[in-house]
Amino acid sequence: MNLGVVGAGTMGRGIAQVAMTNSCKVVLFDRSEDALETTKVEHKNILDRLIKKGKLQGTSQDYLQNITYTQSLKDFEHVDFLIEAIVEDFAIKKELFQSLENIVATDAILATNTSSLSIASIASALKNPSRCLGVHFFNPAPIMPLVEVIPAVQTSDSVFNHVYETLTSWNKIAVKAKDTPGFIVNRVARPFYGEALRILEEGIADVPTIDWAMTSIGKFRMGPFQLMDFIGNDVNYTVTETVFQSFYNDPRYKPSFTQKRLAEAGYLGRKSGKGYYDYDNFSSNPKPTKDETLGHHILNRILVMLINEAADALYLNIASAKDIDLAMEKGVNYPKGLLKWANQKGITWCKERMDDLYNTYHEDRYRCSAILRKYSAENLQFPV
C-alpha cells in the first residue's frame, strides 16, 4: 500500500511512523521545510530507540527507505490512501482536499484526522465525496492503539471497509463512529473534566482531593486536573467549547469559567509551568484530603455522569456498546469500559444516581439517558 500523509506535525509524523513500520510506502508532505527536517531526525531517533529496545527488527534504514519527505503535493500521484493531518481549519482543509483531488488517482481514498469538523462537510469539498472519511488517531499515534473510523453520509461501504481492514492490519484497534461532534471519545469523556470542575466550583472538594479520588479509588491513570494540565487548559477548553457549540449549547457539555480563566491567564498546565498545579515548585501544591466517604462521593458522581454519556451515545447509535467501551479503554486508558462498569454497578443504581443529581439541581445537565431508564425497567445489561 502507498500511503500519503499531509502535515508533518504532532499527528502526521506519528501516523507516518505507524505506516512505515507496517511495510507501507509513505509519502509525507509538509509545506514547511523545518517541519520535515525535524520529522526526519525524530523518525530516525525513534526507530533507533525501538530497535535497541528490541521492539523492531533490522535497522532504521530498513524502515526509512519506505518513506519520502516532500514539499510537493504532486508526489501524491501514486498513493492509494491519503490521511490529512494539517491545521484544524475548515477553509484550509477544504482547499487542500480540492487540490489533492486533481493529483491523486480517481480511486484513491482521502481521509481526514480532524478532531472536531464534520466529515460530511469535508467530503462535500470533493467531486467524489464517496471516497472520503474520517480516521481519528490519538496522540501519540504510534502508542495509542485506538483509531475512530468515521464514515460521512456520502462515504461508500467499500471505502469504509478497506480503511477499517488497513488499520487493523497495522495492529490498530479500529472502532466505527457516527459523524457527530466529538465522535466517541471526545464526546463521552466530557464529564470527566466538566463534572470535576463543577465539584470544584461548588466547593465540595479541592483539586488534589478530586484527583486523588479518581486515581486512588477510581483507578483512573490520571485525575481530571492532572489530565487537563497535561493536555493543556487552552486545548481542553477549546474542545469542550467546540463540542458544546456543536450540540446547540446542550448544558451537558457547558464549558467552565474556572478553566476559561486559567487559559486566559496563560496557566496552561505543564507546558507553561503552571495550571491547576504549580510545576516549577511542585512540593508547594496542597495535599489531598484522603477522606474515603468524600472520595467515593466524588468518584461516583463523575463516574455516573460518564456512564450516562456513554449510555446516551449508545442510545443515539453513535457506536456499538463494544466499540464505546473499547474506545474509552484504548483511546484514553480508562480502567474499565463505562458500559461494563454500568453493568457491574447496576443499571438501576446508575439511573437512581442520575435522578438524585437531577432532583438536587433541577438542571437539564443531569437528565438521565432514556436507555438507562429502559434497561433498568426491563432488567437488561449492556451488551459488552
For the annotated catalytic residues, the residue numbers are 115, 136, 148, 186
Binding of residue 71 to ligand NAD (CB under 6 A): no
Task: Specify the residue, 37 or 165, whose C-beta has the smaller distance to ligand NAD.
Answer: 37
List 11, 228, 304, 307, residue binding ligand NAD (CB under 6 A): 11
Minimum CB–partner distance for residue 8 and ligand NAD (Å):
5
Residues linked to residue 4 through DSSP beta bridges, in sequence order = 27, 82
Task: Specify the residue, 113 or 118, whose C-beta has the smaller distance to ligand NAD.
Answer: 113
Minimum CB–partner distance for residue 40 and ligand NAD (Å):
13
Residue nearest to ligand NAD (CB): 9
Binding of residue 98 to ligand NAD (CB under 6 A): no
Rounded (10°) angle between helices 257-265 and 190-201: 90
Determine the Cα–Cα distance for residues 236 and 222; give it in Å rounded to an integer.
15
Cell numbers standing for residue 384: 459488552
Minimum CB–partner distance for residue 152 and ligand NAD (Å):
15
Cα distances (Å, whole numbers) of residue 97 to 6, 137, 228, 358: 10, 19, 32, 45
How many residues touch ligand NAD (CB under 6 A)? 23
Minimum CB–partner distance for residue 158 and ligand NAD (Å):
25
The pattern of x and - marking residues 122 through 161 that bind ligand NAD according to CB under 6 A reads --------------xx-x----------------------
- For residue 369, the 8-state DSSP code is P
Cα distances (Å, whole numbers) of residue 247 to 135, 178, 241, 252: 21, 14, 10, 9
Cell numbers standing for residue 296: 467515593
Task: Specify the residue, 148 or 382, whose C-beta has the smaller distance to ligand NAD.
Answer: 148
Binding of residue 113 to ligand NAD (CB under 6 A): yes
List 86, 108, 146, 149, residue binding ligand NAD (CB under 6 A): 86
Binding of residue 7 to ligand NAD (CB under 6 A): yes
Task: Specify the residue, 209 or 240, whose C-beta has the smaller distance to ligand NAD.
Answer: 240
Cell numbers standing for residue 315: 442510545
Q: Which amino acid is at 196?
A: A
Binding of residue 377 to ligand NAD (CB under 6 A): no
The pattern of x and - marking residues 13 through 52 that bind ligand NAD according to CB under 6 A reads -----------------xxx--x-----------------
Determine the Cα–Cα distance for residues 248 and 194; give it in Å rounded to an integer.
17
Q: Which amino acid is at 335?
A: P
Binding of residue 101 to ligand NAD (CB under 6 A): no
List 115, 166, 240, 343, residue binding ligand NAD (CB under 6 A): 115
DSSP string over 240-296: HHHHHHHTTT-GGG---HHHHHHHHHT--BGGGTBSSSBSTTGGGSPPP---HHHHH
List 96, 228, 305, 319, residue binding ligand NAD (CB under 6 A): 96
DSSP string over 4-27: EEE--SHHHHHHHHHHHTTT-EEE
Chain-centre distance for alpha carbon 143: 13
Task: Specify the residue, 192 or 366, whose C-beta has the smaller distance to ligand NAD.
Answer: 192
SS3 assignment, position 383: coil
Cα distances (Å, whole numbers) of residue 295 to 36, 201, 306, 309, 347: 47, 16, 17, 21, 22
Task: Specify the residue, 12 or 295, whose C-beta has the smaller distance to ligand NAD.
Answer: 12
List 62, 75, 77, 88, residue binding ligand NAD (CB under 6 A): 88
Minimum CB–partner distance for residue 202 and ligand NAD (Å):
30
**In the complex, which residues of this chain contact ligand NAD (CB under 6 A)?**
6-12, 30-32, 35, 85-88, 92, 96, 113-115, 136-137, 139
